[in-house]
Structure 1
Amino acid sequence: MAEETQQLAPMPEDWQRALAVVAHPDDLEYGCAGAIAQWTDAGKEVVYLLATRGEAGIDTLEPDKCGPLREQEQLASAAAVGVQTVEFLDHKDGVIEYGTALRRDIAAAIRRHRPELVITLNHHESFGGRFLNTPDHRAVGQAAIDAVGDAGNRWIFPELGEQGLAPWGGVKWIAIAGSDTPTHAIAAEPGFERAVASLLEHRAYIEALTDEDPEAYARGIITMTSSFVGDRFGGKPAIGFHVYER
């Protein structure tokens, strides 16, 4: 019972650069973008790194047409919360493989952008013990965690050094969004409207997913995800993260 009622700590603020690493367009918009909006408003730099372009995400649209569409939606979605740099690794949507190739690509991005905070998505087999997670989320989340160590070790992927990417061991925190075991949180209300706007930019994806009005859907999703940890963060809507210190 004590664990259930223990209050979450505020998210660390002693950083200037963050790298958010996820598998697909829209992964950051289902709950995390409201935090990112607040950080960019405060003058912090956040870069998005996506393993795929989400080309397998719409059943009624062929991948060669879906990928470019979802890329454009992601760029607009990022801009809605103040993120100007979005990179795509072009791993294949739906069948991302955890391994050294993925770790190398993420480690290279960490070395390029030199973040103090790395954000990724729940890498466990379920959300809340009720909804199964996808193989892509699990692979990218675990690879992002592991790539933080890779990025700081000159003897792991030495070819990155030969390409001019010096080791970067300056990551202070790894924050897992959508975790069942959050340790930290940030109030949701200040970034709420920007979070809704960011998710709404994925209109083609939402329209293929549900018959509900897209704005009502987006507002409902952000309201729901903001309610998960509020009872452990002063009783107000909040965005939770499991934060690991480095």
Structure 2
Amino acid sequence: MTDNEATDLPELPGDWQRALAVVAHPDDLEYGCAAAVASWTDAGKEVGYLLVTRGEAGIDTIAPDVCAPLREREQRASAAAVGVTTVEFLDHRDGVIEYGTALRRDIAAAIRRHRPELVVTLNHRDGWGDGPGAPRNTPDHVAVGRAVLDAASDAGNRWIFPELADQGLAPWDGVRWVAVAASGFPTHAVDAGPGLERAIESLLCHRAYIEALTDRKPEEYVREFVTETATRSAARFGGRPAVTFEVFPR
């Protein structure tokens, strides 16, 4: 057992009001942390979603021009299931997202616009676990996650992307944490129990994607996935089902 596995996980800080979740594709948040989002919106917190792509390359049997609006609709329904009404898309190309200043600028602009205290993203590391044999992460997830970590700082520096101020987006240095979901190196957790059923409903909204992904009944696949994921870290969180995060304070 590693030190990482043996350490109990503290509760993610809750003394904030606004969050912005930034991920590469529709369904990333639903596979990663929808139960936590449901708990936050229940508590009256404001959560917005920013999708870097519309997921147009995500379903092999559906052409991108047909797939993009379908997946956008599924994402909006999925967000609504956990109390999120603000869903925006950046329109970078699915599957070939490039880490760089253009992506950092787009995310920094969104952070300045929404002015969150908490920024959430998905695993930015090369693998999904904490060992050498961990399944490999996708380039899109890695690029977006790393860009989010950088953009959280970029948003507060008036001399990085000064053109944003000319667009009416004043610097925002109020991000206090970046919380990375589905990391192999979690440092904090949120109780998944109260939001578990809505997290299942939220992922199930991506029905077209799930039906292309598996031959199993979508309801069975989704319930099993969300429940197993939430219980995986329960032993480190007082026996409660958990959504885990690797938290980077700022």
Alignment-derived partner of residue 195 in structure 2 = 191
- Map Cα deviations across residues 87-119 of structure 1 (whole Å, 9 max, x no partner): 000000000000000000000000000000000
1:159 aligned onto 2:168: no
1:218 aligned onto 2:219: no
Q: Secondary structure at the match of 1:29?
A: helix
The aligned amino acid for 2:168 is G
Partners of 2:5 and 2:93 in 1: how far apart? 39
- Map Cα deviations across residues 105-158 of structure 1 (whole Å, 9 max, x no partner): 000000000000000000011111421100000000000000011000000000
Distance 1:3 1:56, change over 3 A: closer
Alignment-derived partner of residue 73 in structure 1 = 74
Q: For the Cα contact (< 8 Å) 1:122–1:141, is it kept in 2?
A: yes
Structure 2, gaps ≥5 residues long: none
Alignment-derived partner of residue 177 in structure 1 = 181
The aligned amino acid for 1:200 is L
Q: Secondary structure at the match of 2:69?
A: helix
Bigger mean CA offset, 1-10 vs 59-68: 1-10
Partners of 1:221 and 1:113 in 2: how far apart? 31
Structure 1 segments of 4+ aligned residues over 3 angstroms from their partners: none
- Map Cα deviations across residues 167-215 of structure 1 (whole Å, 9 max, x no partner): 0000001100001110100111111000000000000000000011111
Alignment-derived partner of residue 145 in structure 2 = 141
The TM-score normalised by the length of structure 1 is 0.98
The aligned amino acid for 2:33 is C
The aligned amino acid for 1:68 is P
Q: Secondary structure at the match of 1:175?
A: strand
Q: For the Cα contact (< 8 Å) 2:4–2:185, is it kept in 1?
A: no
1:115 aligned onto 2:119: no
The aligned amino acid for 1:157 is F
Q: For the Cα contact (< 8 Å) 2:105–2:161, is it kept in 1?
A: yes
The TM-score normalised by the length of structure 2 is 0.97
Partners of 1:224 and 1:141 in 2: how far apart? 24
Q: Secondary structure at the match of 1:180?
A: coil
Partners of 1:82 and 1:4 in 2: how far apart? 32
Structure 1, gaps ≥5 residues long: none
Q: For the Cα contact (< 8 Å) 1:31–1:195, is it kept in 2?
A: no
Partners of 2:177 and 2:154 in 1: how far apart? 15
Q: For the Cα contact (< 8 Å) 2:32–2:122, is it kept in 1?
A: no
Give the 5 Å matches for 1:7-18: 7-18=8-19
Aligned residues: 246
Alignment-derived partner of residue 51 in structure 2 = 50
- CA-based RMSD of the aligned residues comes to 0.8
Partners of 1:4 and 1:206 in 2: how far apart? 31
Query: Residue 227 of structure 1: CA displacement?
Result: 2.2
Partners of 1:105 and 1:2 in 2: how far apart? 37
Partners of 1:233 and 1:142 in 2: how far apart? 27
Alignment-derived partner of residue 202 in structure 1 = 206
Q: Secondary structure at the match of 1:169?
A: coil
Q: For the Cα contact (< 8 Å) 1:107–1:148, is it kept in 2?
A: yes
Give the 5 Å matches for 1:14-53: 14-53=15-54
Alignment-derived partner of residue 65 in structure 2 = 64
Query: Residue 3 of structure 1: CA displacement?
Result: 4.0
Query: Residue 6 of structure 1: CA displacement?
Result: 1.5
Query: Residue 2 of structure 1: CA displacement?
Result: 4.5
